[in-house]
Each structure stands twice: as C-alpha cells, then as structure tokens.
Structure 1
Amino acid sequence: MISIDLALKYTPLPISVQRKEVEDAQTLYDQIVNAMKSGTSQLIELTCEKQTEKKVAVMSDQISAVILSQKDGGAAAGRVPGFFSMVESEQ
C-alpha cells in the first residue's frame, strides 16, 4: 500500500488515504500538488482503496504539506512518516 498523507493548517493530525498501485498514488500526489500551486482554492475529494468506505473532502488552500510514502507491514500503526531527530547523550 502507498499512503498519501495531507497535513492541514491548524490541524495536528494528518489525513491519510491509501492506494494499491504506485502509479495511482503518484497521480493523486501530482493532482494535490497542482491544486496547492493554483491561485484559487479548490475542493479536493479523496477516497481510500484500503478502507473503501472512507471519504474526505478538503480545500486545497488548507493543505500545508503532502507526503507520499510506502507503507510496509512492519510499520507501527498510527505513526506518520516524516523526519525525526536523534540526540546524542553525554556520558
């Protein structure tokens, strides 16, 4: 499964939808990025291929980031892909 996560302004939790095929996920990612680049606010309706009953609609001007990532079976549930910081402890 490929996950597309949207970070929204003033919202601490991302919105996630999944695609089965890499090409489908990349197409959706490109559509979202193009909507973000346009000067006008657009309604983006998303569905999920993993949970077919899941539907969400967001305004493109409220999206602050979009993340495309591969979800593998070993990943912890509820963990958002992204960056982390490692701090070296003093001894």
Structure 2
Amino acid sequence: MFTIDLTLKYTPMPLSVQRKSAEEAEATYQEIIKAMRSDTPQILELKCDHQPEKKVGVFSDQITAVVISQKSGAAGAGRTPGFFALAE
C-alpha cells in the first residue's frame, strides 16, 4: 500500500490517501503536481483505496508539499512519512 500525504498551508497535519500500487500512487502524485503548477487554482478530489468512503477535496493553491511513502508491516511502525527524522 502506498500513501500520498498532502501538506496544506496553515494546517499542521497532512491529509492522506492510499493507493494499492506504485503506478496508481505515481499517477496521483503527478496529478497533484500538475495542479500545483497550474496558474489557476482548481479543486482536487481524491479518494482513498484503503477506505473507499474516505474522500477529500482541496484547492490546489493551498498545497505546499506532496509525499509518497510505502506502507508495509515492517517499515517503521509509528513513524510519520517524510524526509525529516528526529535524532533519538
């Protein structure tokens, strides 16, 4: 399972949706990046593969970052996805 996390302006917690395959995750990532590059804001509607009832709509001009991470049982349980790690 792959998770796509969106960080929004003025929002401390990321929004997340999940995709079953790397190809689907990459396609969603590219869709979000394309919307972020657009000169005109648009609404992105995203659904979660893991929880089909989970849907989110967000204005593209409010997105500050997007991250793809792979979820597996052994991969850092309890750790948040992203590029930064706190020293232990």
* Fold shared per TM-score above 0.5: yes
Structure 1 partner of 2:63: 63
Superposition deviation, residue 84 in structure 1: 1.2
Q: Does the residue aligned with 2:49 lie in a helix, a strand or coil? A: coil
Structure 1 partner of 2:53: 53
Structure 2 partner of 1:26: 26
Structure 1 partner of 2:41: 41
Q: Does the residue aligned with 1:80 lie in a helix, a strand or coil? A: coil
Distance in 1, Cα, partners of 2:77 & 2:56? 23
Superposition deviation, residue 71 in structure 1: 0.7
Aligned residues: 86
Gaps of 5+ in 2: none
Structure 2 partner of 1:76: 77
Distance in 2, Cα, partners of 1:41 & 1:29? 17
Structure 2 partner of 1:2: 2
What TM-score comes out, normalization by structure 1 length? 0.88
Rg larger in structure:
1
Superposition deviation, residue 76 in structure 1: 2.6
Gaps of 5+ in 1: none
User: Structure 1 stretches (4+) deviating beyond 6 angstroms?
Assistant: none
Letter in 1 for 2:56: V
Distance in 2, Cα, partners of 1:80 & 1:59? 24
What TM-score comes out, normalization by structure 2 length? 0.91
Superposition deviation, residue 65 in structure 1: 0.2
Identity %, equivalent residues: 56
